[in-house]
Amino acid sequence: EGIVELYSAKTFEFLEGLVGTGSQKAELLLANIGSALTIIESIEKHSDLITSIKGFGPEFIAANRILLNEKLN
């Protein structure tokens, strides 16, 4: 079973909504980190978990911290 089969389509749609994230990067994040909640927590507090994955750098973290902390009007 591949990574895609282990997670729901909604999980992939959610992760693809992150800045700079398409289907391949969503797969990489899930394969290396394990859940959408842990990915969000990693962006917020433990960015080294994500930046250690090839293709994810400080720019990814910064852009998504802004996205996750935007106030909704």
Cα–Cα distance, 25 to 58 (Å, whole number): 15
Low-confidence ranges of the chain (pLDDT < 50): none
Q: What pLDDT shows up at residue 56?
A: 96
User: Are 29 and 55 contacting, i.e. CB atoms less than 8 angstroms apart?
Assistant: no
Rounded to two decimals, what is the model's pTM? 0.83
Q: What pLDDT shows up at residue 29?
A: 95
For 43-61, the DSSP string reads HHH-THHHHTSTT--HHHH
DSSP assignment letter at 19: T
Q: What pLDDT shows up at residue 72?
A: 63
- The dihedral formed by the CA atoms of 53, 55, 59 and 61, expressed in degrees to the nearest 10: -30
